[in-house]
Amino acid sequence: MSSQTHTIIIGAGPAGLTSGYLLAKKGYKVTILEADEKYVGGISRTESLKGFYFDIGGHRFFSKSKEVEDLWTELLPNDMLDRPRSSRIYYNNKFYAYPLKAFESLFNLGIMESILCVLSYLKTNLFPIPNPKNFEDWVTNQFGKRLFSIFFKTYTEKVWGMDTKDISADWAAQRIKGLSLSSAIWNAIKPKSKNKDKTKIIKTLIDSFRYPRRGPGMMWEEAATRIQSLGGEIKMGVFVNKLELDGKNWKVSGTMKNGEAISFEGDQVISSAPMRELFKAISKPAVSEKALHSANSLRYRDFLTVALVVKEKHLFDDNWIYIHDPSVKVGRIQNFKSWSPEMVPDPNYNCYGLEYFCFEGDGLWVSSDENLVELAKQEIVKLGLAELNDIKEGFVVRQKKAYPVYDDAYQSHIDVLKSEIKEKYKNLHLVGRNGMHKYNNQDHAMMTAMLTVENIISDSETYDVWNVNQDAEYHEGGEPGKINIEERLVPQKV
């Protein structure tokens, strides 16, 4: 395909910027349209207020893909820190290391509770739930019913706002595949060897990761700068509301915040926009009623972070803590200084990010910033992670469509939309978390972009991008930077 091809990219998150950068490096004309007026990076952006930097959700830079690891290094060769992975679970007024430490868990749970958990696990091993379809059944098979109730049910229902039996097993399989009670305990007690086979690493159990000095947004701001230096165009504050295909040419139109209409024409469209909004925007050829119904049926979970600046008393040094306590609304607490000391400008202070999962428009979402800061103060004090007098101030950051919902019908809707694109919309490529309605990690989103770029350059459909997150070996196992595209995804015609 000629390098004169004009590719319009909707969304300047990791997938959009990765595809834009790789195409621009090859001399292709690129225009990226981003709805946010200020930040690139999507959910991987880093916001800042008064010198404090806030990561939106926590992003560990760790991948089995050589291409992904190499690209991170290429973009920030001198600004990536090696950070220890540390996270714990808060349950019943006690903290549990995650991954599990066998003796600590035994001590915290007590002898009788631990025996009951092991017996529950053994019972499940003998009589597993056949063909688990929902999250609860899948995790119960891995850990037993009793441990599921202790360590998974409350937190998961906070995240998704729905019963664990209404969540597809796909989400559990995608996020914690390869991890079970036996593997977690074995990992905690087995001798550590410098010569261990790292190709068998379970991603959930990694010990360290890389992280940009001032948050993941640093990576994507650099990607945006390089795209522009290569002649690519990035338009901020553009809400895309119409896509039209005329023969082989696409026209993509949008609106600026001031109401000004703007449009671009190109040969290719790469979209990381939420699938629901994308299909609402396609006007030519018209989207079928069946596909529009499927698009409108897709659901999203939103969240907000309340960042509290507190006097540093070194009460915990975890990257984050999972809150398995139904008496508080907070689901997870980030320790931004633990991600990188440069996230906090004054060493006498720390900054904790309390994450609240919600739906756009519900009670939490529409609460005033003042009320949310007050709620966060009360809850972090209740949890014993700060004293009220030590809290200096708070900030609120909202994130729409943070997580695509994996309900029991989502896959059937995705299948309808994939078929619609294949039949009617030539050169429309979906990438990234919301673009594909997949709970992609950052590196998986980047891989979908990389494979899409390969398809565009070769003017073919050599790689099935939808396979990226279904490849369990790629998703969960391997050593950082060990695996390349050819080893992970066998080229196939689709």
- Residue 452 near residue 16 (C-beta atoms within 8 A): no
* 65 neighbors 356 (Cβ within 8 angstroms): no
Least confident of 33-37, 91-95, 241-245, 287-291: 91-95
> Is 432 within 8 Å of 468 (Cβ atoms)?
no
pLDDT of residue 104: 77
Name the residue with higher pLDDT: 169 or 228: 228
Instruction: For residue range 451-461, list pLDDT tens digits in order.
Output: 999 999 999 88
**Residue 423's pLDDT is what?**
94
| Nearest Cα residue to 452 out of 7, 2, 4 | 7
Q: How confident is the model at residue 98 (pLDDT cuts 50, 70, 90)?
A: confident
Pairing of strands 233-236, 29-34: parallel
CA distances from 335 to 200, 215, 227, 283, 383 (A): 29, 12, 32, 45, 15
- Asked if residue 195 has pLDDT above 50, the reply is no
Q: Name the residue among 334, 370, 95 with its Cα closest to residue 215.
A: 334
Res. 2: pLDDT tops 80: no
Q: Which of 195-209, 219-233, 300-314, 433-447 has the lowest mean pLDDT?
A: 195-209
459: CB partners within 8 A, 6+ apart: 1
Q: Would you say residue 170 has pLDDT above 90?
A: no
Are the CB atoms for 404 and 439 separated by under 8 Å? yes
Tell me: pLDDT of 189 over 50.
no
pTM: 0.88
Both tokens of residue 360? 């756009």
pLDDT at 169 over 60: yes
pLDDT at residue number 488: 46
Q: Say how far apart CA 111 and CA 182 lie, in whole Å.
A: 18
pLDDT at 323: 94
**pLDDT (0 to 100) of residue 473:** 39
Choice between 4 and 350, residue whose per-residue pLDDT is larger: 350
Q: What is the DSSP secondary structure assignment for residue 465, as one 8-state letter?
A: G
- What integer pLDDT is reported at residue 297 of this predicted model? 97
What pLDDT does 3 receive? 54
